[in-house]
Amino acid sequence: GSADLDCDLLVLGAGPGGYSAAFRAADLGLKVVLVERYATLGGVCLNVGCIPSKALLHVAAVMDEVKHFASLGVSFAEPTVDINKLRTHKEKVVGKLTGGLAAMAKMRKVTTVRGIGQFVGANHLQVDETAGAQGQEKTGKSQTIAFKTCIIAAGSQAVRLPFMPDDPRVVDSTGALALKEVPKRMLILGGGIIGLEMGTVYSTLGARLDVVEMMDGLMQGADRDLVKIWQKMNAPRFDNIMLKTKTVGAKATKAGIEVTFAAAEEGGTAPAPQTYDLVLQAVGRTPNGKKLGAEKAGVSVSDRGFIPVDIQMRTNVPHIFAIGDIVGQPMLAHKAVHEAHVAAEVIAGELQGNKELASAAFNARVIPSVAYTDPEVAWVGLTEDQAKAQGIKVKKGLFPWNASGRAIANGRDEGVTKLLFDDSPEAHGHGKILGGGMVGTHAGDMIGEIALAIEMGADAVDIGKTIHPHPTLGESIGMAAEVAHGSCTDLP
């Protein structure tokens, strides 16, 4: 059919998956069009996710750190917060990064098209032009783009509970990041990473927190011993931590949002209803797969809106690929970026007859997770709780940071580093590392080393004999390996 624009590769969605795929493909010589409904590139992660949340968490961490300085003999005045300035700072951080992406797209001659994309065939996408930061409005203009190949990187969005009233005091993470004002009482619906990160920011700024979670613990996925340390440090932020509890109703009243709860399990007791100034819905994210007209291109979408792909990120339609949040868990930016590179390389390889590129595949052994709370909780690969549940025999090396010179010097020795090694009979006492977790300041910055060790198939001796600089928090990884290997020195 006729098209207004044509290309080798059309990328739908400009989040970490989409822009990474577009840039890699352009670097490999393809003519690339990148379609995005937002005003800026960067998707959820840069605009309303990873980056703005970390800008605010950094400020919160410094404010909290300063409080504890009094016990070290250095006192500061109570901080005063200019919320408008803080919001502007966050917006500047985001603007710097999204502006940088726009420049990089231009440099690589990636054509960006603004609007909502919908498939109208297996080789055509219609784009309805949008306006507004998040593409809320349509301008009425539209165009059709013809593509040889396509990568769907349309991401996910926050789940909304159907009974939540439409009220400015009920927000999702995007609304919370808008940082309009600091509530007195805030309910976090869902005790996962996103909710707890935003809760940390608001509580440091002065809000009292409640959290409600269906499961029997916060921060699911992380080992309970690590979460326990985070929880002990963070208990003062919360009035109520409601576990094994469902939210079943909510009503907007003059006094606030009145929320009712029920026990998640039969026989459990339900907490009394409570009224909040702000309710943050952080009960998970749902993929955007059902909103793309994918059926017009013949692309299969699951009931839940995920797009199934193979290890080359290919959908059931051979020239259409999908990456990032829309293909499944874990919904993390670094996963999206690696999948993006695979899809772009396979496509370039196939279009250009380059067999090596065309054989690219996503075969990461592990994908790390980080909660950027205070302290941070980070984990990668097998967890101890999983090992127990699956009956996998592991040798554990646990290094408590109260034996780390640097952690003590920092006044933050509550942390722990834990490594797990294969202890099956076949390993003959030299088992490879299967997983690791850390709780403590900067844990997220250090977990990459454990991921590398797993990818390289390192054992406890490899890690323990690797000389880590002293005194650093990262040393705790070498120490934990030595503990597992049974040759722990007592370097302070």
For the annotated catalytic residues, the residue numbers are: 470
Closer residue to ligand FAD in complex, CB, 170/463: 170
User: Of residues 192-211, which lie at the interface with ligand FAD (CB under 6 A)?
Assistant: 194
User: Of residues 42-101, which lie at the interface with ligand FAD (CB under 6 A)?
Assistant: 43-45, 49-50, 53
> Is there binding between residue 305 and ligand FAD (CB under 6 A)?
no
Choose one: 152-160, 400-408, 413-421, 432-440; the region binding ligand FAD (CB under 6 A): 152-160
Closer residue to ligand FAD in complex, CB, 140/236: 140
Name the minimum Å distance from CB 70 to ligand FAD.
31
Q: Please report, for residues 13, 20, 32, 100, 345, the alpha-carbon distance to residue 40 in angstroms, rounded to integers and kept in the order given.
A: 11, 15, 17, 10, 25
99 annotated as belonging to a binding site for a ligand: no
51 annotated as belonging to a binding site for a ligand: no
332 annotated as belonging to a binding site for a ligand: yes
Phi then psi for residue 258, to 5 deg, are: -90, 120
> Is there binding between residue 155 and ligand FAD (CB under 6 A)?
yes
> Is there binding between residue 400 and ligand FAD (CB under 6 A)?
no
Q: Which H helix or E strand runs over 52?
A: helix 50-68
Choose one: 15-23, 100-108, 204-212, 466-474; the region binding ligand FAD (CB under 6 A): 15-23
Kindly tell me which residue out of 8, 10, 15, 150 binds ligand FAD, with binding defined by CB under 6 A: 15
CA angle 55/60/63 to nearest 5° reads: 130
Name the minimum Å distance from CB 179 to ligand FAD.
12
> Is there binding between residue 17 and ligand FAD (CB under 6 A)?
yes
Sequence-separated (6 or more) residues with CB below 8 Å from residue 294: 119, 152, 300, 301, 307
Kindly tell me which residue out of 11, 14, 407, 416 binds ligand FAD, with binding defined by CB under 6 A: 14
**In sequence order, what are the beta bridge partners of 285?**
158
342 three-class SS: helix
Closer residue to ligand FAD in complex, CB, 135/405: 135
Is the alpha carbon torsion for 33, 35, 41, 44 positive or negative? negative
CB-CB contact of 63 with 204 (8 Å): yes
Tokens encoding 127: 């784009």
> Is there binding between residue 333 and ligand FAD (CB under 6 A)?
yes
What amino acid is encoded at 92 in this protein? K
> Is there binding between residue 332 and ligand FAD (CB under 6 A)?
yes
Cβ atoms within 10 Å of 363's Cβ, excluding its own: 8
Name the minimum Å distance from CB 103 to ligand FAD.
18
Closer residue to ligand FAD in complex, CB, 345/422: 345
Closer residue to ligand FAD in complex, CB, 17/437: 17
Closer residue to ligand FAD in complex, CB, 113/484: 113
Name the minimum Å distance from CB 333 to ligand FAD.
4
Instruction: Determine the size of the site formed for ligand FAD (CB under 6 A).
Output: 37
Pairing of strands 285-287, 156-158: antiparallel
> Is there binding between residue 289 and ligand FAD (CB under 6 A)?
no
d(CA 187, CA 283): 12
Is the alpha carbon torsion for 378, 380, 386, 391 positive or negative? negative
d(CA 108, CA 32): 9
**In sequence order, what are the beta bridge partners of 380?**
436
431 annotated as belonging to a binding site for a ligand: no
Tokens encoding 256: 């606030």
d(CA 297, CA 119): 6
Q: Which of 237, 427, 229, 455 is nearest to 338 (CA)?
A: 455
User: Of residues 99-138, which lie at the interface with ligand FAD (CB under 6 A)?
Assistant: 116-117
What percent of the chain is helix, strand and coil (3-state, nearest 5)? 35, 25, 35
Kindly tell me which residue out of 9, 11, 30, 35 binds ligand FAD, with binding defined by CB under 6 A: 35
Can you say whether residue 75 is alpha, beta or left, with left for phi > 0 and alpha for psi between -120 and 50 degrees?
A: beta
Helix axes of 193-204 and 50-68: crossing angle, nearest 10 degrees: 50
190 annotated as belonging to a binding site for a ligand: yes
251 annotated as belonging to a binding site for a ligand: no
Choose one: 31-39, 203-211, 300-308, 456-464; the region binding ligand FAD (CB under 6 A): 31-39
Closer residue to ligand FAD in complex, CB, 156/204: 156
Kindly list the residues in this chain that would bind ligand FAD in the complex (CB under 6 A).
Answer: 12-18, 35-38, 43-45, 49-50, 53, 116-117, 153-156, 173, 194, 288, 291-292, 324-326, 331-334, 336, 372
Q: Which residues are annotated as a binding site for NAD(+)?
A: 190-197, 213, 284
